[in-house]
């Protein structure tokens, strides 16, 4: 029997496929997993996969990517899957040719009718007896992936070639997978992985597979676990807090680490109280959730954990230049030099340079460069010149982030031949001729990074780029954070249904006016208060409430012109 697991990145398919293999072996079945432990068993397939993931290959066309992925799956079939089936074993794959139809057709937009014959050729007529689609909301999958990266489960570079297209690619792939499942219900089993423990999903999958192995009918084409919480519709934004923490507490039972992660950047007593409950189990994640917080409980927790998880404490400091932060950095440097140096962005103070000079004497030039963003003094330029001479091109490009000068653009120009993506990241928030030209050149190759680089810009060119990008991916709205511009509001409201969590998070830094509250409430109602949307909504509300007095909120509401508030 040939069983294939499909789903978007972060859906849990790799974990569940490996759990199924282990359970079937314990039940006495002979099992081959074609991607045991997340690694393709064919060495040739692994080499091909490296090509298709390499973000430096920006010119790779969707058709080339499609044929390379076909070659990878064809090799897995020849070398692993077909021999296992010939031996009479159960063979499990983590992705097969359906992924190429979803990625190249649904994700990249190639015509499906032209892809199917090529997939048929690659398959040699061998298709899975059962396809298990692990379905998940893309926003939730993205949160799980970020959590995994924070725990060191993936490489530090978050951008594969798929990632460069933006979060919209996963949303389109999910729609394509569901379309394939609807066309062939006899062979597809769809199981939701939104709000149930993995052990429950594992058991449901095992029962379905054993039923098929024993010649019995599958219990259902789609398994939708019961929801722990009833649907909820807020009347005002003040209702958000109680519901958020109720859902967070439910999440803690099945995914405690994700529960901690979702507290990131949220101020207030209720959030801090829950952090204290996580300190012993997850000290590193707990202190990382303090990123962006500058209140007394946050500093007390950093002090408490400074010697326990120094790297995480240093990372939680961000680039704040507050006196407590500099004092902590000096204490933490011995144990977390890379994180401390990275946190010195925008900091040209004597204390910051004392740490950098100490690091340079230790030979830590690459780490020093990573913490020089927006530092425009001569020692910084001397470090950049030394970095170029030593071939540290990516680090030098990162050091230029936010620098708006002819000197910076000249260096960026010379670095393009070495790392275009690092140079693209360095033009964050800049509106120079070089920045505008680079965005246009890479718009169709690295849309996510292009859109993110527009942060804070209100030029006509920046909004034209956002308007082109918004139908494709949510990063067009990410770049609207804190913008109180009529065009920004139009984009938020026009794409609220498509990218609700991002439309809400883009309100960060804005007062909680009636218009903002209306957008938040509409997002919650239209998504049945899904956790990623609810979390962003509560963060906006909690941050706004922590920043101002209640009387000021009333003044904000009254200051909004009723005629400028379009219906959502």
Confidence of residue 177 (pLDDT cuts 50, 70, 90): very high
325 burial via Cβ count (<10 Å: 0-12, 13-18, 19+): buried
Q: How many domains does the chain have?
A: 1
Confidence band (pLDDT; 50, 70, 90) for 44? very high
Q: Which residues contact 526 (CB under 8 A, 6 or more apart)?
A: 496, 497, 500
pLDDT at 195 over 70: yes
Examine the pLDDT at 215 and tell me if it is beyond 90: no
In this model, does residue 559 exceed pLDDT 70?
no
16 within a domain of the structure (yes/no): yes
Q: What is the DSSP string of 216-263?
A: PPPS-SEE-PPPSS-----SSGGGHHHHHHHHHHHHHHH-HHHHHHTT
Each residue of 256-288: b (16+ CB within 10 Å) or e?
A: ebbbbbbbbbbbbebbbebbeebbeebbbbbbb
CA distance 40 to 18: 13
> Given pLDDT bands bounded at 50, 70 and 90, which one contains residue 196?
confident
3-state secondary structure of 326: helix
Rounded percentage of the chain residues whose pLDDT exceeds 70? 92
- 2-6/90-94 β-pairing: parallel
Band of the pLDDT at 225, cuts 50, 70, 90?
low
Q: Are 240 and 271 in contact (CB under 8 A)?
A: no
Q: Which domain holds residue 203?
A: 2-223
Task: Give the confidence band of 558 by pLDDT, cuts at 50, 70, 90.
Answer: very low
Is the predicted pLDDT of residue 194 greater than 80, yes or no?
A: yes
Confirm whether 563 is domain-assigned.
no
Considering the domain boundaries, does residue 263 fall inside one?
no
Do the domain assignments include residue 454?
A: no
In tens, the pLDDT along 63-117 reads 999 999 999 999 999 999 999 999 999 999 999 999 999 999 999 999 999 999 9
Full DSSP string of 94-154? ES-HHHHIIIIIIIT---HHHHHHHHHHHHTT---SEEEEEE--HHHHHHHHHHHHHTTSS
Distance of CA 282 to the CA centre of its chain: 21
Per-residue confidence (pLDDT) for residue 324, from 0 to 100: 92
Identify the DSSP state of 306.
Answer: T
The CATH number assigned to the domain holding 196 equals 3.40.50.300
Asked whether the predicted pLDDT for residue 487 surpasses 70, the reply is: yes
547 in a structural domain: no
Tokens coding 37? 């432990």
How high is the mean pLDDT of the chain? 91
Measured in degrees and rounded to the nearest 5, phi and psi for residue 42 equal: -85, 120
Q: Could you write out the DSSP letters of every residue in 398-462?
A: HHTTT--SHHHHHHHHHHTTT-HHHHHHHTTT--SHHHHHHHHHHTTT-HHHHHHTTTT--SHHH
Cβ distance 91 to 101 under 8 Å?
no
pLDDT of the residue at 226: 53
Q: Is the pLDDT of residue 552 over 90?
A: no
Range of lowest pLDDT (35-49, 172-186, 189-203, 554-568): 554-568
User: Within a domain: residue 425?
Assistant: no
Residue 192 falls inside a structural domain: yes
Model confidence at 155: pLDDT above 60: no
Q: Is there a domain that residue 363 lies in?
A: no
């Amino acid at each position: 029997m040939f069983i294939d697991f499909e789903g978007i990145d972060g859906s849990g398919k790799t974990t569940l496929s490996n759990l199924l293999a282990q359970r079937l072996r314990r039940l006495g079945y002979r099992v081959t997993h074609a991607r045991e432990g997340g690694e393709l068993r064919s060495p040739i397939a692994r080499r091909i996969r490296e090509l298709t993931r390499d973000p430096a290959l920006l010119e790779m066309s969707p058709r080339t990517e499609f044929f390379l992925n076909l070659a990878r799956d064809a090799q897995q079939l020849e070398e692993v899957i077909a021999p296992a089936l010939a031996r009479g074993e159960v063979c499990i794959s983590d992705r097969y040719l359906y992924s190429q139809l979803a990625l190249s057709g649904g994700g990249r937009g190639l015509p499906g009718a032209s892809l199917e014959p090529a997939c048929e050729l690659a398959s040699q007529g061998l298709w899975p007896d059962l396809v298990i689609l692990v379905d998940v909301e893309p926003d939730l999958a993205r949160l799980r992936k970020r959590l995994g990266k924070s725990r060191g489960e993936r490489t530090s570079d978050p951008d594969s070639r798929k990632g460069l297209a933006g979060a919209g690619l996963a949303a389109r792939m999910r729609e394509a997978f569901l379309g394939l499942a609807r066309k062939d219900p006899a062979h597809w089993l769809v199981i939701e992985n939104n709000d149930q423990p993995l052990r429950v999903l594992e058991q449901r999958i095992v029962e379905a597979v054993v039923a098929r192995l024993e010649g019995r009918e599958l219990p259902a084409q789609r398994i939708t676990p019961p929801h722990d919480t009833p649907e909820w519709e807020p009347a005002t934004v003040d209702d958000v807090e109680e519901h958020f923490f109720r859902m967070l507490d439910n999440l803690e039972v099945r995914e405690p680490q994700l529960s901690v992660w979702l507290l990131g950047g949220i101020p207030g007593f209720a959030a801090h109280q829950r952090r204290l409950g996580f300190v012993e189990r997850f000290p590193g994640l707990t202190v990382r959730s303090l990123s962006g917080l500058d209140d007394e409980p946050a500093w007390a927790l950093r002090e408490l954990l400074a010697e326990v998880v120094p790297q995480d404490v240093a990372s939680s400091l961000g680039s704040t230049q507050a006196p407590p932060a500099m004092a902590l950095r000096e204490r933490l440097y011995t144990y977390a030099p890379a994180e401390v140096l990275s946190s010195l962005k925008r900091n040209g103070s004597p204390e910051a340079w004392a740490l950098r000079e100490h690091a340079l004497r230790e030979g830590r030039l690459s780490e020093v460069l990573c913490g020089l963003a927006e530092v425009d003094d001569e020692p910084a330029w001397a470090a950049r010149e030394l970095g170029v001479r030593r071939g540290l091109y990516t680090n030098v490009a990162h050091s230029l982030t936010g620098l708006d000068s002819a000197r910076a653009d000249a260096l960026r120009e010379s670095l393009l031949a070495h790392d275009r993506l690092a140079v693209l990241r360095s033009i964050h928030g800049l509106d120079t001729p070089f920045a505008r030209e680079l965005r246009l050149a890479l718009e169709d190759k690295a849309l996510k990074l292009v859109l993110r680089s527009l942060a804070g810009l209100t030029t006509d060119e920046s909004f034209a780029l956002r308007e082109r990008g918004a139908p494709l991916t949510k990063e067009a709205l990410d770049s609207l954070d804190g913008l109180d511009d009529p065009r920004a509001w139009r984009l938020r409201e026009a794409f609220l249904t498509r990218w609700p969590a991002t439309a809400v998070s883009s309100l960060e830094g804005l007062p909680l006016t009636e218009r903002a509250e209306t957008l938040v409430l509409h997002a919650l109602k239209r998504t049945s208060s899904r956790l990623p949307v609810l979390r962003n909504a509560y963060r906006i509300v909690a941050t706004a409430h922590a920043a101002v007095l209640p009387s000021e909120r009333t003044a904000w509401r009254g200051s909004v012109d009723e005629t400028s508030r379009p219906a959502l």
